[in-house]
Amino acid sequence: MSNHEYRIEVWDRDGGALLETCCRAKTDRLIRAAWPAAIEDYPGRFLICYNGAHVTDRAEVPLAPRSDTEPAPVGRISLFDLPEWYQLFAYCADCGRMEEVDRRSPKLEEMRLRPLADLAIRLKCGSCGSHGRSKFMVRKIPR
């Protein structure tokens, strides 16, 4: 039976460390029902769903903001994977300026499949002019 066990593993990041197995199930139907719940429960983690030895699903879950008002750093996700209800900000590590970025700008749209962390090094701070020292941050759009 053990090679036909369905499970969801929680990793700290893709290729990182296994933290725990958050769910085990006997059937495909049950594990599919658990998958969306696991995505809600493990913000900022990397989830892998297995059917025995086979990977059936993988997801990097966006990091949930610590509060509704404070933007949080974004992991190695792309704009494509960032849910619609997140605002995007650029944060300058040199002067501390935080500025909202239009996530629908054609320039970003073009690179929507690339990890935001890789694109951040191209950002130039509008305040101090610092280049390559900015990070992308995200915040849930206030309702």
24-49 CB burial, b ≥16 within 10 A, e <16:
eeeeeeebeebbeebbeebebbbbbb
Q: Supply the minimum distance, in Å, between the C-beta of residue 119 and Zn ion.
A: 17
Measured from the Cβ of residue 136, the count of other Cβ atoms closer than 10 Å reads 24
- Told to check if 98 binds Zn ion by CB under 5 A, we report no
Q: Does 130 bind Zn ion (CB under 5 A)?
A: yes
Smaller CB separation from Zn ion, 61 or 125:
125
Q: How far apart are CA 9 and CA 97, in angstroms?
A: 37
CB–CB of 42/34 below 8 Å?
Answer: no
Q: Which of 74, 125, 137, 138 binds Zn ion (CB under 5 A)?
A: 125
Which residue from 5, 41, 57, 94 is in contact with Zn ion, where contact means CB under 5 A? 94
Under rule CB under 5 A, residue 92 binds Zn ion: yes
What type of residue sits at position 11?
A: W
Does residue 128 belong to the site contacting Zn ion (CB under 5 A)?
Answer: yes
Q: Is 95 in the site for Zn ion (CB under 5 A)?
A: yes
Give the interface with Zn ion as residue ranges (CB under 5 A): 92, 94-95, 97, 125, 127-128, 130
